[in-house]
């Protein structure tokens, strides 16, 4: 019996590990459950090939290798799109600056979020009249909303409180944009929406452009301001995670 199931033990171990990562890891690292789950599927197929006759074993192993190769190519293409999207593009004179949220720590903004805020503050010095929208809701592991954290940080560093609007319902990038534009319409700021500037870390901007173009590309002009990602582990994690996030947004966020 032990020998019968032995080929499937690596797949089972990876599947258990994927479940543990998804349940126990912080939000920034939950994405690791996805590649672990994919590896579990490949290991399961390979294990199944060990139970086949010679011809079936060869066919199943070729299929498994092809599936792995296709996945690697797909990931490489997506990662290339993410890296190519890491750039600042300013068109005209944006009248509204949207700062997208990121994780809030018990002591304040995470490093990635602080990078976005500091980049926005630098831009604000030369464009003091721009309207600012901070966008981000409250996650299960956050004590306040991302929008409130950003508002507090910006106003503590010289931004005019009357100049900063808060969108504090969104839980992902798609909602960031949708809810922000709904807020601007409620505030009667449609004339200013013609030119908007979105501030986020560079790895995030390819997805922002894709989602913006899907709905508002024919109506409004989008500029982007690429913030650095100064924390090396967070930067590596974010660039790896962004590839499947880009695919998910392309397929599901409409």
| Stated length of the chain | 254
- Structure confidence by residue, pLDDT tens digits, 49-82: 887 887 888 889 889 999 999 999 999 999 999 9
Residue 78 to residues 135, 206, 241, Cα–Cα distance (Å):
26, 10, 11
User: Cβ distance 205 to 90 under 8 Å?
Assistant: no
Q: Give me the chain's average pLDDT, please.
A: 90
Give the Cα separation of 199 and 140 in Å (integer): 24
Give the Cα separation of 63 and 32 in Å (integer): 24
Segments of the chain assigned E as strands: 96-100, 104-105, 108-109, 131-135, 164-167, 195-201, 221-227
- Of the candidate CATH numbers 3.40.190.10, 3.30.1280.10, 3.40.50.620, 3.40.50.150, the domain formed by 96-252 belongs to 3.40.50.620
User: Cβ distance 71 to 77 under 8 Å?
Assistant: no
Give residue 28's pLDDT: 57
**What are the domain boundaries of the chain?**
2-84, 96-252
pLDDT band at 190 (very low <50, low <70, confident <90, very high): confident
Percent with pLDDT over 90 in the chain: 61
2 pLDDT exceeds 60?
A: no
Give the Cα separation of 137 and 149 in Å (integer): 10
- Structure confidence by residue, pLDDT tens digits, 193-219: 778 999 999 999 999 999 999 888 878
């Amino acid at each position: 019996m032990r020998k019968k199931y032995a080929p499937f033990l690596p797949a089972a171990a990876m599947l258990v590990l994927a479940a543990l990562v998804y349940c126990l890891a912080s939000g920034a690292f939950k994405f690791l459950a996805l590649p672990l789950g994919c590896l579990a599927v490949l290991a399961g197929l390979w294990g199944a090939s060990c139970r086949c006759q010679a011809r079936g074993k060869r066919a199943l192993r070729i299929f498994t290798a092809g599936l792995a190769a296709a996945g690697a190519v797909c990931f490489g293409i997506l990662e290339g799109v993410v890296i190519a999207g890491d750039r600042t593009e300013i068109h005209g004179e944006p009248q509204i600056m949207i700062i997208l949220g990121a994780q809030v720590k018990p002591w304040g903004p995470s490093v990635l979020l602080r990078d976005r805020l500091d980049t926005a503050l630098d831009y604000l010095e030369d464009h003091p009249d721009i309207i600012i929208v901070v966008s981000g809701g409250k996650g299960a592991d956050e004590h306040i909303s991302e929008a409130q954290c950003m508002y507090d940080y910006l106003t503590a560093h010289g931004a005019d409180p009357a100049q900063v609007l808060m969108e504090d319902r969104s839980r992902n990038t798609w909602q960031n944009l949708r809810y922000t534009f709904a807020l601007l319409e409620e505030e009667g700021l449609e004339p200013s929406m013609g030119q908007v500037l979105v501030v986020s870390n560079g790895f995030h901007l390819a997805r922002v452009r894709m989602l913006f173009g899907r709905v508002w590309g024919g109506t409004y002009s989008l500029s982007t301001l690429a913030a650095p990602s100064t924390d090396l582990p967070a930067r590596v994690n974010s660039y790896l995670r962004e590839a499947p996030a880009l695919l998910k947004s392309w397929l599901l966020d409409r």
